[in-house]
Amino acid sequence: MDTLRSRAEILKLARLLDVEPRKLAFLEELPVEDVRAFRERSVAALFDGAPGLLDRIAAKTRLLPAGIAAGISQKALGPQLAAALAGRLEPGRAADIIERLPPEFTARCCHHVDPRRIAGIMGRLDDDIVVRIALVLADRRDHLTMGRFVGHLRDSALLRILPRLDDTTLLLTGFVIDHPEQLGRIVELLGEERVSSVIASAADGGLWPEAMAVASMSSGEQRARIASLTAAQPEARLDSLVRTTAEQNLWESLLPIVAALDEDELRAVAALPSLRDPAVLDGLVRGVVATGLWAEFLPMVAALPPTARRIVAKAAGALSDPDLDALAGGVEKEDLWELVFPLVELMNDGARKRIFELPAFQERAAG
């Protein structure tokens, strides 16, 4: 999950600083919370240091009727200056002016608005205006700006906006949502049929990483529903999910979703052709070693067909001593030995001997 969250954070920071995202790719190595904190400090550095000119204009604007201020904003100030000004006005006053502006103009301003002022302004705007602005942003494919705003929208506005956005827009916006705690509410408003359609579009449009990120950011119960709806997709789509995960090493994102499936669904996923590919399974084992997601992984192994289980056993048996030790430590921590023993039985003698000699296993045997 962190890989995907890092990608989203880098997109947001790159947009803020107006640089190519690939130039900031090195930030993927840092904790995503720190990259987010850096972005928030960058927002403060850029927006709090605005020239006194803005305060002077804001002071003058307060004296004008909202309609005249809107006219001046549109005809004289332009989107960047109007947005900067909106950040200097009281939210209620900014909303009064915005309601008198054409949505096309406001949509062009949105990207330049101080992100910290969005909640205050959005809460005061009429639904009609919000819907029209959102649709213009969608037409402009400005998903990063939509991601900033969407978490602040009322249900009444979302219910009018969501049916009019295509699946790709929903995925790309959800991927960069600034307030992921609001995703649950939005997924609920979408309904199961639409979520299924979005999942199908993720498969067909090469957007599995975005879909996984959205599922991972959703709450436990909703993640389980998204996981079930995903498992109900045709085999070819699910296979493309596993292949994408393997290619981009996103097991840390997929495994918690798989772990939310019930037994029948898990068996359907475990029977996928891609999960018989030794290269995929080898990457999966290494992904689990790196992330420590043993509790999510081992139940899936138990559901794999015997051939695939033997490949996993072989991959696990070929792990280096430190990685094998990490495996044992993870299994011990989560008390998952019952799920490991069938796997150990499939290993060759050398690998089995190495497992039995591990301190964690010795302690288990002694205990």
Partner 1 sequence: MSAEELALLRAELGAPPPESFGSLDDTQARTLTLALRRARERRASGLNEAVEDALTLVPALTREPLRRMLFR
Give the binding site for partner 1 (CB under 8 A): 16-19, 23-24, 26, 29-31, 33-34, 37-38, 41-42, 44-46, 48-51, 53-54, 56-57, 60-61, 72, 75-78, 80-81, 84
Nearest distance from C-beta of residue 45 to partner 1, angstroms: 5
How near is the Cβ of 10 to partner 1 at its closest, in Å?
A: 12
C-beta of 176: minimal distance to partner 1 in Å?
19
Whole-Å CA distances, 187 to 59, 74, 148, 180: 41, 35, 17, 11
Which of 71/299 has CB closer to partner 1? Answer: 71
Residue with smaller CB distance to partner 1, 14 or 328: 14
Q: CB of residue 46 vs partner 1: minimum separation in angstroms?
A: 6
Cα(287)–Cα(275) distance, integer angstroms: 14
Other C-beta atoms within 10 Å of 133: how many? Answer: 27
Q: Report, in Å, the least distance between residue 161 CB and partner 1.
A: 30
The residue type at 261: L
Q: C-beta of 67: minimal distance to partner 1 in Å?
A: 16
Whichever of 69 and 250 has its CB closer to partner 1, that residue is: 69
How far apart (Å, rounded) are the C-alpha atoms in residues 2 and 49? 32
Q: How many CB atoms lie within 10 A of CB 51?
A: 8
- 8 Å CB contact between 356 and 348: no
Q: Which is nearer to partner 1, 29 or 264 (CB)?
A: 29
Single-letter amino acid code for the residue at 248:
Q
Nearer Cβ to partner 1, position 2 or 325? 2
CB of 64 to partner 1, least distance (A): 9
Nearer to partner 1, 19 or 290 (CB): 19
Instruction: Quote the tokens at residue 230.
Output: 């995903």
Q: How far apart are CA 269 and CA 303, in angstroms?
A: 9
Cβ nearer to partner 1, comparing 31 with 359: 31
**N residues, the chain:** 367
The DSSP element (H or E) to which 233 belongs, if any, is: none
Residue 96 vs residues 58, 79, 90: alpha-carbon distances, Å: 14, 16, 10
List b or e across 171-197, with b for residues whose CB sees 16 or more CB atoms inside 10 angstroms.
bbbbbbbbbbebbbebbbebeeeebbb
Least distance CB 291 / partner 1 (angstroms): 18
Instruction: Give the number of other Cβ atoms within 10 Å of residue 32's Cβ.
Output: 19
Nearer to partner 1, 83 or 98 (CB): 83
Which distant-in-sequence residues (6+ apart) come within 8 Å of 129 by Cβ?
A: 98, 99, 103, 106
Between residues 42 and 248, which has the closer beta carbon with respect to partner 1? Answer: 42
Least Å distance, CB 17 to partner 1, is 4
Q: How far apart are CA 87 and CA 54, in angstroms?
A: 9
Where are the alpha helices (H) located in 143-191, listed in sequence order? 143-149, 155-161, 167-175, 183-190
